Structure 1
């Protein structure tokens, strides 16, 4: 890295004026603001096009935004801002792409020197970024450059060698959220007030998320029927034997079957039908905000963060993982705990779990199966010991 650092002083583009960083946005922004801030391959195309083609350009921009989720665009915008802020404080220019600059940046991230204060100075004693965070930020930088028609070679030794060293020195096993098991879920449901609209909605969200093995974005992205909203990511059909969910996830469209449960108190279909009945919704977003002191259901779709908050809140209220402190327990649960719970609890062929969760590989499914298959096969005894 010392040689790379030496080359920086000769090869990097010094910041002589404010770089074109109008795309850099603050950490807490709306989806619309993120979409406007991120670069587009079609930028400035309208000025040279006749009027009848400008509408196509605007529509193409919409398709470009649809190529990635709002959460992904928000993360890319935040990571790009982190990089450009560090460049500004270091008197370096982020444009054009320079592998040496990026190599120094990921080094700063690994050492905790990439974080800055409001005054623009580096924060002393800042916590180093994890390897996963560094890799995500590098992906965001590469993507942002590609959207500007620029190319950053991740295999350049100034990046690849430094990243390999960071992995070897700092890589750690991934920290997984705890799975919500059936007995946990039942206890969590008991903390909800079934005499309120909010309680009925939350009950349906928990049971449907668990039984369907759904991502939090898939839960709140559901509509009552097909093609009922522009931001919908799927819809619900109620059949005699259960629910049929048609979902647009990370791997494309898929159908998820959610069968009826063995008891009304834990049946996801019953929970969904009860929510429909009392919420009096027939079209548009399925899971909505409850307003008017809990007496009315608004038209707005819930944010996917609400799923994570619901899982964490009810898990804590139910005393799940009571062997830990309150602070430790709060870090153990998220929206993914529902997906992991189904994968860990369903005693069926792995292929069925993989299909339900929408995974492209069985290896990914196994990452969700917390403790399910541990010691099921004892190779020590099988070897004769």
Structure 2
């Protein structure tokens, strides 16, 4: 897409089903997830079902599928179509679906402003769009997107077009060449979260109030998250037992020698062993047993909201964002990385700080750390080992200098 080329934009055909003033999807609005998901194209197109128009009082969905003049899916297969939609939703996390829905709406808004069509997918239009993202002209606030954000937006377009039966060729020169140039010009080193090491974690635990249920819960979450190398969604997705809730992502089993955690993570189901600690004060299993006993939890979500000034336990599962807030709050209160300004310290800590802390501090064979974290490659595990292997091997001295 050189400067001498001119894109012959086609006038956009508007559809009454699209609310042109609809705001972009927000991560806080879980209710928009289902509305933003397109119909299951493989099933719909093969069986000949025409997508139904949304009700007038529903939130505006993404641009509809192109009209198809085929007979409706037989009524007796409606239940299977609904089940297939459930499986489509289960194929990706709710956070991914929210991001993809938001990106798709932003692309639709950009196309409307530029007067170009979204269908059929045009690699040259997409190439112009990612150029606008990189130059700060894709949104009204004129804020340039980072390379990682542009990569996600491109993935969102590819996914959404595929669900509508019209695949987008990311290898087309109008996309691939422009994306390569964006990476070369704008890519920056990844900003990884700071690893919480054992001494940091102990200091963070001391900032929690042991006399309240909230303090006991937070203590158990920090210790389980660190010792298990768990993601924040895995921590809050745990149930007390198997098959106890529909939204559960795993369960626990307390044994004599430790805790067995069964998880459904990004790489599928896995078992994580959390052994008992050398001291009750820092033992994740003891902390969890104390929380369960005093909170009187025997069934359902493991970690829940605490109300009434830390004295009452609700029935609802804790949001995974609370894990990130907990790590950041306690790390700042404990003075972790106190050598840095407070504004900078606040950006260093998040839920992944617990996972990287375990990977950086566990003095065991790397393959055991890889298994605990659920990584499919050793290279990914090494990315989490923030300080473990720095200068352990000194090639300068080994070379004779």
For 1:113, the equivalent position in structure 2 comes to 137
Task: Name the counterpart of 1:26.
Answer: 25
In 1, are the aligned partners of 2:226 and 2:355 still within 8 Å (CA)? yes
What residue is the counterpart of 1:85 in the other structure? 109
Alpha-carbon distance in 2 for matches of 1:263, 1:45:
63
TM-score, scaled to structure 1: 0.93
| SS of residue matched to 2:81 | helix
Residue 254 of structure 2 is matched in structure 1 by 238
Q: Which deviates more, 147-156 or 80-89?
A: 80-89
What stretches of structure 1 of length at least 5 have no aligned partner? 117-122
**CA 1:67/1:45 → structure 2, altered by over 3 Å: closer, same or farther?**
farther
Aligned residue for 1:31, secondary structure, equals coil
Return the alpha-carbon distance in structure 2 between the equivalents of residues 4 and 20 of structure 1.
37
CA distance in 1, matches of 2:277, 2:92: 35
Q: Whole-Å Cα distance in 2 between the matches of residues 164 and 153 of structure 1?
A: 15
1:316 is matched with which residue? 332
CA contact (8 A) 1:260 1:268 kept: yes
Partners of 2:25 and 2:98 within 8 A in 1: no
Change (3 A) 1:182 1:19: farther
Deviation of 1:20 after TM superposition, in Å, equals 5.6
CA root-mean-square deviation: 1.8
Once the two structures are superposed, the pairs formed by residues 258-269 of structure 1 within 5 Å of their partners are 258-269=274-285
Indicate if the aligned counterparts of 2:240 and 2:299 stay in contact, CA closer than 8 A.
yes
- Post-superposition Cα deviations, 1:237-280, rounded to whole Å, max 9, x if no partner, equal 00000000000000000000000111111110011000000110
What's the CA shift for 1:36?
2.0
The 5 Å alignment of 1:302-381 reads 302-381=318-397
Question: Which of 245, 248, 251 in structure 1 is aligned with 2:264?
Answer: 248
- Structure 2 CA distance, aligned partners of 1:65 and 1:28? 16
Structure 2 residue aligned with 1:104: 128
Aligned residue for 1:355, secondary structure, equals: helix
Displacement of 1:171 after TM fit? 1.1
Distance 1:158 1:222 in 2: 45
Q: What does the per-residue CA deviation read over 1:314-361, in whole Å, with 9 as the maximum and x for residues that have no partner?
A: 111111111122211110011000000000010110000000000000
Classify 1:20/1:164 alpha carbon distance in 2 versus 1 (closer, same or farther; 3 Å): farther
Aligned equivalents of 2:355, 2:344: Cα separation in 1: 21
Q: Give the superposition deviation at 1:15.
A: 1.6
Q: Which of 6, 10, 15 is equivalent to 1:13? A: 10
* Cα shift at 1:45: 5.6
Residues 360 and 4 (structure 1 numbering): CA distance in 2 closer, same or farther, change over 3 Å? Answer: farther
Contact 2:40 2:84 in 1 (8 A): no
Distance 1:28 1:204 in 2: 27
- Find the counterpart in structure 1 of residue 67 from structure 2: none
Unaligned runs of 5+ in 2: 53-71
Compared with structure 1, are the counterparts of its residues 273 and 45 closer, same or farther at alpha carbon in structure 2 (3 Å cutoff)?
farther
1:223–1:284 contact (8 Å) kept in structure 2: yes
Q: Post-superposition shift, 1:381?
A: 2.0
After superposition, give the CA deviation of every residue in 1:62-114 in whole Å (9 maximum; x if it has no partner). 11111111011011111112212222222222222111111011111111111
Using the TM superposition, name which of 334-343 and 74-83 deviates more.
74-83
* Count of equivalent residues: 374
